[in-house]
Amino acid sequence: MPQTIEQKSTLYDRDLNLWLEEAIAKLKAGDFQNLDVENLIEELEGLAGRDRRELESRLTRLIEHILKRCYVNLPECYRGWELTIIGQRNEIKKIIKQSPSLKRHIISVFDELFNDALEIVQTEYENTIFPDTWQFTHEIDLLLTTNFWKQS
pLDDT tens for residues 46-79? 888 898 999 999 999 999 999 999 999 999 999 9
pTM, two decimals, is 0.79
Burial class (CB in 10 A: 0-12, 13-18, 19+), 109: middle
Taking CA atoms, 128 is separated from 4, 64, 122, in Å, by 61, 13, 7
Burial class (CB in 10 A: 0-12, 13-18, 19+), 91: middle
Q: What is the pLDDT along the chain (152 residues), one digit of tens a residue?
A: 566 555 667 888 889 889 989 999 999 999 999 999 999 999 898 888 898 999 999 999 999 999 999 999 999 999 999 999 999 999 999 999 999 999 999 999 999 999 999 999 999 999 999 999 999 999 999 999 999 998 75
pLDDT, residue 14, reads 87
Domains and CATH numbers, the chain: 11-147 (1.20.1220.20)
